[in-house]
Amino acid sequence: MTDPYLWLEDVEGAEALDWVRARNAESAVDIASTPSFGRTRDAIREVLDADDKIAAVSKIGDLYYNFWRDAEHPRGIWRRTTLEQYRTASPAWETVLDLDALSAAEGESWVWHGASVRRPEFRRALVDLSPGGSDADVTREFDLVDLRFVPAAEGGFERPLGKGGLAWVNDDTVWLSADLGPGTTTASGYARLVRRWRRGTPIDAATTVFEAEHDDLAVSGWHTSTPGFERDWVRRATGFYSADLYLVRDDALVRVDVPASASAGARREWLLVDLRDDWTVTTPAGEVTHPAGALLAVELDAFLAGERRLTPLFVPTPSTSLADATWTRHHLVLTTLEHVANRLEVLTPPAPGSAPGTSWDRRTPGGVPSLGTVSVGAVDVEESDAVWLVTTDFLTPSTLSLLDVGTADAAPEPLKSSPARFDATGMVAQQHFAVSDDGTRVPYFVVGRQELVSGDAGPAPALLYGYGGFEVSLTPSYSGTSGRAWLARGGVHVVANIRGGGEYGPAWHQAALTHRRHRAYEDFAAVARDLVDRGITTPARLGMEGRSNGGLLAGNMLTQYPELFGAIIVGVPLLDMKRYSHLLAGASWTAEYGDPDDPEQWEFVRTFSPYHLFDARRSYPPVLFTTSTKDDRVHPGHARKMAALMLAAGKDVTYYENVEGGHGGAADNAQASYMAAVHYEFLRERLA
C-alpha cells in the first residue's frame, strides 16, 4: 500500500496543521454550534469543576497533600492540610504550588505530572511538569518550606524535557534517567542510561551505573529509604512485559533471578514475585511449578543466597485474578477480582527468619462492600497500618474511608463521600455474559434505566465501551459525566471485559496477544450481538467507543464489523499497524501486537490494521476521530491519516484534534468538557 497521507505524520508541519484546523472548524459547525452542545458541555464542566469532589490526599510527613483543579484553578494547585482539617466538611488548605500562576509567569502551559518528596525530612520535592500534557516532562526541585523552586544556580536539581525521571537517594544525590541527547534514549524514546547525580555537579558529569541496549524499552533507578532496609535498585525493561531487576551494591549490580516476565519488588525483608508465566523452581524437595498469575513471597536475602522455597500468597482460579498488593507497616493487603468484582484480604507475614515456605496469616476485613470496585492505598507505609479505601460502582458515588488493617475487628471509617451527579432513580447495573466465536464466555456490564436494561421498553441508544489490551481490567466506576450526558438522557452504558484485558489474570491477556489479537475483536462483536439479542438495542442505535489501544479496537469494529454499529468513536488511536512501531513510543508495543517489520509477523498484524483494512467500496457507520497534537505516546498521525483516507472516499467522518492534552486528550477541565461534549453530541445525533 502506497501511503498518500504520510505528510500528516508531520505533527507540527504547516500543511498538516492547516488540515487539522480545517477539520476542527468543520466539527465546530457540525456538532459544537448546536444549543444542545452547549448544555451538554456546561453540565459536564459543572461536574469536573465541582468543589465538593473528594480531594484524595497523600500523607507527607505530618501533612496531607492534594492536587486540585476547579473553575478558579483550571491548571490546578498543589495544596496541603492537616488530618484534623481534612476530616472537616471544609478543610483549610495551604497552597504549595499554583500551576496557573506558574504557567502565566513562565509563558508555558504546565500540566501536573506528580511529585516525590525526600524522606525523612520532607523538605524537598522533585516536581514533574509537562508542557501541554505530553508524556515528556521536566523535573524541578521544590522547597516545601520556602515554597519555591530551587534554581540550578543554587544547586537545585533540574532534569531537561524528555521521557525519564529523577528519584531521591539522599539530600544531595538523585538517580537520573533522562534524554540528554543522541545515544541516551532507546528506540521507544525513553531513557537508556541510569546515572547517579550529585548536587552541585553538571548533569553531564553524573556517574553512569547502567546502560541499556538501544532496542530495550527503558531503564530507571530508585532508592528505598526504609530504616534498616536502605537499598538502591535499577530496573531494565527489555520489553513491555519483560524486565530485569538489579540490586545495586557498591555500584555493582546483583540481578534478582526471577523470570523476566515476572514483576518483582522488595519491601523490608520480603521479596514479592508476581508471575505472568509458569515458573518452575528447584527446592530441596524437588521441582515446584508455580502457575502464571500467582503471587509469591520469600525473604530477599535468602533468595539472593539461593533459597527457592517460596510461599504462594495468591493462586488464581478460572474466575479470580490478582488486581493489586499493598503493603502497610506490618501487613499486605491483597485486592483480587472474582468475575470482575473486588475482594480484599489482609495477610500478615511470619516473623523474620522463619522457615522458608512458612504460611502467612490471612483474614478478610469486615465492612467492605462485596460488589463494585474497591481500591486500596497505604496511608504511611513506614509507620502505619491504616489504608485509604475507595469504594464505588456504576450508580454509587465514591466514598473514601480509613481502615486500620492492623486491628482485626476494625470497620472502615468513612471520611468523604462524593455527591450524586445525576438522578439514578430507577436505574440498575447488571452483569451478563456473551459467547465469543470460540465458545469463551465474555462478561460485560449494562447500566441504565431498568426498563431499558431489561429490553422491555424497546431498543435504546446504547454506548459500548472496551479496551482489551495490556492486561488492563475495566471495573465498575461512577461517572457523573456519562451519568449526566448519557444515562440521564435515556442512554444505556455498556462495558465489555474482553480478552486482552486483565480481568481473569495473565491468561486472559495472553489469549489476545499478537497473532491471537482477533479474539479481542471477536469478543467485542459477541457482546454487541448479545445486546441486540436481548432486545436492549439495535445495530442502528448501538454506538461504541475506544481510546488508545481501545482506539485500535474501535478501528477494527469500524472496518471488520461495520454492520453491528450505528456510530463509532475512535479516540487517540493506533490505526496504521504497519507504521506504528516507528512512531513515538510504538516500538515498545511489539510484544503486544507483533513486529510489522518482520514479514512473517506482518501477515497477522495486517489482519487488524484498520488503515489497511479500509475498503472504499464498503458502507461504514458514521465515525468520530479524536486525538491531540501534544500526544507523544500514540502519534496523532494515526487518526489524521485514517480520517483523510475515509473522507477522500466520501464517508461520514467527523474529526477533532485538541492542540493540548497529550495522550489524555485534554490539559484542563475546559478542554475535557469540550471533548466529552463532542463525543456525546456526536452519539446523540447519530443514534437518535
Catalytic sites, residue numbers: 548, 663
- CA distances from residue 295 to 263, 276, 277, 394 in whole angstroms, order as listed: 9, 10, 11, 29
Q: Dihedral of the CA atoms 36, 42, 45, 50 (nearest 10)?
A: -140
Whether the CB-CB separation of 61 and 122 falls below 8 Å is answered with: yes
What kind and span of H or E run contains 244? strand 242-249
Tell which residue, 430, 398, 396, 428, has the closest CA to residue 412: 398
The span from the CA of 186 to the CA of 250, in Å, is 26
Cα torsion 297, 294, 390, 667: sign? positive
Residue with cell 534514549: 185
What kind and span of H or E run contains 228? none
Whether the CB-CB separation of 374 and 342 falls below 8 Å is answered with: yes
Q: Dihedral of the CA atoms 368, 369, 373, 375 (nearest 10)?
A: -10
Tell which residue, 594, 451, 429, 409, has the closest CA to residue 516: 594
Residue with cell 504550588: 97
Q: How many other C-beta atoms lie within 10 A of the C-beta of residue 601?
A: 16
Q: Dihedral of the CA atoms 206, 210, 211, 213 (nearest 10)?
A: -160
Angle of helix 669-687 relative to helix 35-49, nearest 10 degrees, comes to: 140
Q: How many other C-beta atoms lie within 10 A of the C-beta of residue 291?
A: 15
The span from the CA of 572 to the CA of 589, in Å, is 15
Whether the CB-CB separation of 296 and 283 falls below 8 Å is answered with: no
The span from the CA of 646 to the CA of 641, in Å, is 9
- CA distances from residue 272 to 295, 326, 437, 550 in whole angstroms, order as listed: 7, 11, 37, 31
Tell which residue, 135, 46, 125, 13, has the closest CA to residue 78: 125
Cα torsion 457, 459, 462, 467: sign? positive
DSSP label at 220? E
Whether the CB-CB separation of 404 and 383 falls below 8 Å is answered with: no
Residue/partner pairs of 288-293 with CB below 8 Å, 24 or more apart: 291/315, 291/316, 292/316, 292/505, 292/506, 292/507, 293/321, 293/322, 293/505, 293/506, 293/507
Contacts of 38 (CB under 8 A, 6+ apart): none
Angle of helix 549-560 relative to helix 518-533, nearest 10 degrees, comes to: 70
Tell which residue, 381, 386, 419, has the closest CA to residue 405: 386
